[in-house]
Amino acid sequence: MDYQDIAADLESVLITEDEIHAKIAELARRIETDYAGEKLLLVGVLKGAVMVMADLARELHLPIEMDWMAVSSYGSGTQSSGVVRILKDLDSDLHGRKVLIVEDIIDSGLTLSWLRGNLESRGAESVEICALLRKPDAAKVIVDVKYEGFQIPNAFVVGYGLDYAEKYRNFRDIGVLAPHVYA
């Protein structure tokens, strides 16, 4: 599959690479102001958040540390259940740390709401969330997202780290997957 074939699998492009980078710069300016003089720990959620993390971290003019977690949400089919299993845990001790969770997308909100509680219970001084995308119509729990990029409709999107069956993560824009791909 070459790069042109990826574009052919999309119904539409929702957010372009340029729009993503402008938004990340905007979020970075707010984060710099809020955490001036602090030692911030960015926690990325694998694998979807790798692109957001790479761009946000380089855009931040702050000394940061970076750590990663991988989690899986059990549930029927594609729905997340809120029952979360840690596949890869953090290397860092969170006691007294200011933590910013970096996520690609909030759908039902179940994964992040669990994750925030989990990190808070490890003694972090504060735990906030930065998510590039959120689907307000899909929310099952309210998650307080301090730094939010774009609100999008309740459709399945890929690109910029987001996959369908591990594909499309390297597509530079964010787009809605065409129905023929599922068939």
CB-nearer residue toward ligand 5GP: 111 or 118: 111
106 binds, among Mg ion, ligand 5GP, none (CB under 5 to 8 A by kind): ligand 5GP
156 lies in the binding site for ligand 5GP (CB under 6 A)? yes
Binding of ligand 5GP by 48 (CB under 6 A): yes
CB 104 within 8 A of CB 49: yes
Shortest Cβ 63–ligand 5GP spacing (Å)? 27
- CA 138 – CA 106 distance, rounded (Å): 9
Binding status of residue 107 toward Mg ion by CB under 5 A: no
What does the alpha-carbon distance between residue 136 and residue 155 come to, in Å, rounded to a whole number? 11
Q: Give least dist CB 125 to ligand 5GP, A.
A: 25
Distance of CA 71 to the CA centre of its chain: 12
Question: Least separation, in Å, of the C-beta of 37 and Mg ion?
Answer: 30
Alpha helices in 35-175 (DSSP H): 50-59, 110-120
Does residue 137 have an active-site annotation? no
Task: Tell me the backbone φ, ψ of residue 153, rounded to 5 degrees.
Answer: -65, 170
- List, in order, residues 6 or more apart from 118 with CB less than 8 Å away: 84
Pair of tokens at residue 145: 């997202």
Of residues 22 and 141, the one with the C-beta less far from ligand 5GP: 141
Please list the active-site residues. 107
Residues that bind Mg ion (CB under 5 A): 45, 48, 104, 163
